[in-house]
Chain A
Amino acid sequence: MITLVKRPTPSRGWAFATPVLAVIATMIAGGALFAALGKDPIAAIKVIFWDPLLGPNAAYFRGQLLVKAGPLILIASGLAVGFRAGIWNIGAEGQYIMGALAGASVALAAYPAESHLLFPAMVIAGALGGWLWGMIPAVLKVFFGTSEILVSLMLVYVAQNFLAYAAFGPLKNPEGFGFPGSRNLQQYASAHNPELIAGTGMHWGVVAAFLAVIAIYVLMQRHILGFRIRVAGEAPRAARFAGVLPARLVMFCLGLSGALAGLAGLFEVAGPNGQITDSFNAGYGFTAIIVAFLGRLNALGILLAGLLMALTYIGGDMAQLMLGLPTAAIQVFQGMLLFFLLGFDLLTHYRFRLGRARA
């Protein structure tokens, strides 16, 4: 019989190997799923993983990769800090929306004045908007003991209604011929978050994502605050013994992840997306949760996981287009990735042992 034996120390080798294994297992199980749908599994996997990088139209898709990965990485690196502390912000999608709304509001209020100060002001507003939306569950948790999981998730739907209200109401483009949606910020030079190097997809949001990865890495590995966050997640009593105040930690983690999600929203609305519409949010805030775990809640891992996730997004779109795969199949495929990752995670903490059968 096979038994599981807990390792005395978590295996470093497996911690690095499990994401790779999870991707391979996803390819196999996803291939089987596609085959069951009557599609050629090899072709489908190739379209998803290979074509966007090295296929005939790769030049276009490679730019898309950073555009999609940027917000995922930016949001996920903030979420990971809270997750390490055992503080579960599930509402990054809402904070993303509120950041975009706050930033876009600043820009639209200033329209059509041109100033070099406008974009920095929008960035600050975007971060503040997300931060405020993150502080709601934080304050409720600290003072009333509510679950930050439920409150942050519910606030996503509140934010979506704010978004719809803004798109149809106060932020609606007065020159938009009655169509819902704000002015397009891409056509407003001071507010535009442009592609910095043509064809790469690199914009300020991607730069911010890379900076966030570095900052979070240093915070978690080298700073006493990151150390306390890790201790709080591993052993809450030990954290209190070490002088950590749980209330402050909740405020910091939800505030930080909210602010980074808000930034992601702002860079998106000022850049690739361009305008506030009622369908502005595309689920980055939820996907970032998968990215955070796929990256082992580690800054560098999140960088790679964000790129991988962006790849499955782009490849998934292509597979829908070229092979006629249903959207649901692609979503199942992405879900498998998280499932297998968590499953293989067992190997980091346990090892298999062949033992004699027991009576």
Chain B
Amino acid sequence: MTGALLKIEGLTKAYPGVVANDGVGFEVAPGEVHALLGENGAGKSTLVKMIYGLVKPDAGAMTFEGAPYAPAEPRAARAAGVAMVFQHFSLFEALTVAENVALGMENPPPMRALAARIREISNAYGLPLDPARIVGDLSAGERQRVEIIRCLLQDPKLLIMDEPTSVLTPQEVEILFRTLRKLAAEGTAILYISHKLEEIRSLCDGATILRGGKVVGSCLPREKSARELAEMMVGGEFAATTRAQRKHGATILEVANLSLAPMSQFGPALKAVTFSLSAGEVLGIGGVAGNGQEELLATLSGERPSGIGTVSLHGQDISDLGPNDRRRLGLLAAPEERLGHAAVPNLSLTENAILTGTVRRPLTRNGFLNIGAAKRFAEEIILGFDVRTPGPQVAARALSGGNLQKFVIGREVLQAPEVLVVNQPTWGVDAAAAAAIRQSLLDLAAKGAAVIVISQDLDELMEISDRFCALNEGRLSAPRRTEGLSMEEIGLMLGGAHGMQEVAAR
């Protein structure tokens, strides 16, 4: 095909023990929105890092605008006209928007001129942004705008976006898509990385599907159903979770008027969070991470004390109890951060089983560790939750994200909790493992436990929760029954577009 902006042939990159990319090839035309679709670990990130000059390929060739292209570093990629918006923002919270943009430029113009440019570009693309605002005060969607504006100032020919919608509300996603379509109409090619199928179907003109480092197919996403795309991505049919009819029992957990001061200057606070939870119920708490999710988990698990009378279990006030006392009463938790919070990276799985398991399992005798019992508990988790690992002696950090997450969830589920609180249970986990984790949470609820699932993944919450509420800027919306709730309504519960205006974008 002639006229391709970026052409990739036979790109290969191997890391010790894993071939991240194996002979990958595809083309992107000017003005095309091209999706890179694949599960976590399929090699999407490595591929775009090679295009952006962050990683050097072992073999293969790239052509950009008809000329050989082999960027040695991101600076060379930017000079050629390639820009990238990363999944994790690299912004300084204490600086203004304009200062942050200037820091990323080779020769920043005077601040006043730069501010004017930012205002001009951001309005032109329907992403209004005040250059004088402090980044720490911005919402996730607005921070992403800063990153996008930073790229647009370079006038790129190819814009790479890595999972851009994972931190956005449905309304914010709509605004972003309008901007991307406008850019594409002006001839900018966009390489769009995602595993969200509906988004890709609505936005992209072409798609390349990666699995295990290889291209397994390409298609016109509009002509395929989400299910077909998913099966191409996963490589086979995958089991949908089954949910048994559950009877909700008596109220177990009550949280009343729970407020918490922020831990840092830009950290979120909790503001009068109130809800209750019945036996056998799954409560989904949606919202972009960083709006108080971690803080809510910490106050429920007992890591952070909260005011008297704010958290009660079975009618007993447990606000001043620590994590182990709460475990004794049946309230268990699995934090979001697997390495360093839910598990200790350098300790073995046996030792990580001891981490939270001593209260409800006989893993100690008079304070002395019963290593044999701990090992058996770890093996039970490994077996029951299909954790792929040579054995319980392996260090936690040697496990892949999905396997470690299965271990962490399994550790808590097998302790037969009465209430289980999980934060982002399937974040960075492959589809098969995510389905297994969701099923285990549903099974737990079917046995009569109450489950709180805090997640950014709205599809996940719709799939497993009985009631849904949103945590936004530390405020929890009133829970509503999930059945019959539309995406539009959910988006509004999540704070809509966070008051971001959209002008000149139509």
In the assembled complex, 5 residue pairs joining A and B whose CB atoms fall closer than 8 Å, in A order, are: A224-B354, A227-B354, A235-B345, A241-B323, A241-B333
Chain B window 394-410, contacts with chain A (Cβ cutoff 8 Å), 1 for yes, 0 for no: 11011000000000000
* A241, B326: Cα distance in complex, Å: 11
Chain A window 316-359, contacts with chain B (Cβ cutoff 8 Å), 1 for yes, 0 for no: 00000000000000000000000000000000000001000011
Most buried by B among A9, A230, A242, A353: A242
Question: A234, B16: Cβ atoms under 8 Å?
Answer: no
* A105, B318: Cα distance in complex, Å: 49
Question: B367, A238: Cβ atoms under 8 Å?
Answer: no
Question: B368, A241: Cβ atoms under 8 Å?
Answer: no
* A359, B71: Cα distance in complex, Å: 10
**Shortest distance in angstroms between A349's beta carbon and chain B's nearest beta carbon?**
9
- Choose among A9, A353, A358 the residue that contacts B395 (Cβ–Cβ < 8 A): A9
Which A residue's beta carbon lies closest to that of B369?
Answer: A222
Q: Is B343's beta carbon under 8 Å from chain A?
A: yes
Q: Is B203's beta carbon under 8 Å from chain A?
A: no
* A68, B489: Cα distance in complex, Å: 75
Which B residue's beta carbon lies closest to that of A356?
Answer: B58
Question: A238, B398: Cβ atoms under 8 Å?
Answer: no
| Residues B277-322 near A (CB distance < 8 A) | 301-303, 322
Question: B347, A231: Cβ atoms under 8 Å?
Answer: yes
Q: Is B72's beta carbon under 8 Å from chain A?
A: yes
Band of interface residues on A: 20 to 34
When distances are taken between beta carbons in the complex, the residues of chain A under 8 Å from B345 are: 234-235
Q: Is B88's beta carbon under 8 Å from chain A?
A: no
Which A residue's beta carbon lies closest to that of B357?
Answer: A242
When distances are taken between beta carbons in the complex, the residues of chain B under 8 Å from A222 are: 368-369, 371
Q: Is A8's beta carbon under 8 Å from chain B?
A: yes
Q: Is A237's beta carbon under 8 Å from chain B?
A: yes
Band of interface residues on B: 35 or more
Question: B395, A8: Cβ atoms under 8 Å?
Answer: yes
Q: Is B236's beta carbon under 8 Å from chain A?
A: no
- Choose among B341, B346, B364, B395 the residue that contacts A241 (Cβ–Cβ < 8 A): B341
Q: Is A214's beta carbon under 8 Å from chain B?
A: no
When distances are taken between beta carbons in the complex, the residues of chain A under 8 Å from B394 are: 9
Question: A241, B342: Cβ atoms under 8 Å?
Answer: yes
Most buried by B among A8, A222, A224, A238: A238
Q: Is A243's beta carbon under 8 Å from chain B?
A: yes
When distances are taken between beta carbons in the complex, the residues of chain A under 8 Å from B351 are: 227
When distances are taken between beta carbons in the complex, the residues of chain B under 8 Å from A55 are: none
When distances are taken between beta carbons in the complex, the residues of chain B under 8 Å from A223 are: 367-369
Question: A8, B341: Cβ atoms under 8 Å?
Answer: no
Which A residue's beta carbon lies closest to that of B324?
Answer: A243
* A230, B369: Cα distance in complex, Å: 14
Question: A10, B346: Cβ atoms under 8 Å?
Answer: yes
* A9, B325: Cα distance in complex, Å: 33
When distances are taken between beta carbons in the complex, the residues of chain B under 8 Å from A243 are: 302, 322-325, 327, 359
**Shortest distance in angstroms between A267's beta carbon and chain B's nearest beta carbon?**
29
Q: Is A225's beta carbon under 8 Å from chain B?
A: yes
When distances are taken between beta carbons in the complex, the residues of chain B under 8 Å from A230 are: 347
When distances are taken between beta carbons in the complex, the residues of chain B under 8 Å from A59 are: none
**Shortest distance in angstroms between B395's beta carbon and chain A's nearest beta carbon?**
5
When distances are taken between beta carbons in the complex, the residues of chain B under 8 Å from A235 are: 339-341, 344-345
Question: A227, B369: Cβ atoms under 8 Å?
Answer: yes
- Choose among A5, A10, A241 the residue that contacts B335 (Cβ–Cβ < 8 A): A241
Question: B355, A242: Cβ atoms under 8 Å?
Answer: yes
When distances are taken between beta carbons in the complex, the residues of chain A under 8 Å from B359 are: 243
When distances are taken between beta carbons in the complex, the residues of chain A under 8 Å from B322 are: 243, 245
Q: Is B386's beta carbon under 8 Å from chain A?
A: no
Question: A234, B347: Cβ atoms under 8 Å?
Answer: yes
* A10, B356: Cα distance in complex, Å: 23
Known: A235-B340, A242-B324. 6 other contacts (CB 8 A): A222-B368, A230-B347, A231-B347, A235-B345, A241-B301, A241-B335
Q: Is B246's beta carbon under 8 Å from chain A?
A: no
Which B residue's beta carbon lies closest to that of A234?
Answer: B344
- Choose among B56, B302, B343 the residue that contacts A359 (Cβ–Cβ < 8 A): B56
* A8, B403: Cα distance in complex, Å: 15
- Choose among A225, A237, A359 the residue that contacts B341 (Cβ–Cβ < 8 A): A237
Contact of A242 with B323 at beta-carbon distance under 8 Å, contacts A5-B16, A223-B367 already known: yes
Question: B303, A241: Cβ atoms under 8 Å?
Answer: yes
When distances are taken between beta carbons in the complex, the residues of chain B under 8 Å from A46 are: none
Q: Is B337's beta carbon under 8 Å from chain A?
A: yes
* A314, B333: Cα distance in complex, Å: 55
**Shortest distance in angstroms between B344's beta carbon and chain A's nearest beta carbon?**
5
When distances are taken between beta carbons in the complex, the residues of chain B under 8 Å from A237 are: 337, 340-341
* A222, B351: Cα distance in complex, Å: 11
Question: B367, A225: Cβ atoms under 8 Å?
Answer: yes
Chain A window 162-185, contacts with chain B (Cβ cutoff 8 Å), 1 for yes, 0 for no: 000000000000000000000000
Closest 10 A/B residue pairs (Cβ)? A243-B324, A8-B398, A243-B323, A237-B341, A235-B340, A9-B395, A235-B344, A234-B344, A242-B355, A238-B344
Most buried by B among A10, A238, A241: A241
Question: A231, B16: Cβ atoms under 8 Å?
Answer: no
Which A residue's beta carbon lies closest to that of B343?
Answer: A238
**Shortest distance in angstroms between B428's beta carbon and chain A's nearest beta carbon?**
18
| Residues A216-246 near B (CB distance < 8 A) | 222-225, 227, 230-231, 234-235, 237-238, 240-243, 245
* A306, B364: Cα distance in complex, Å: 32
Contact of A224 with B340 at beta-carbon distance under 8 Å, contacts A9-B394, A10-B346, A230-B347 already known: no
Q: Is B424's beta carbon under 8 Å from chain A?
A: no
| Residues A27-57 near B (CB distance < 8 A) | none
**Shortest distance in angstroms between A234's beta carbon and chain B's nearest beta carbon?**
5
| Residues B354-400 near A (CB distance < 8 A) | 354-356, 358-359, 364, 367-369, 371, 394-395, 397-398
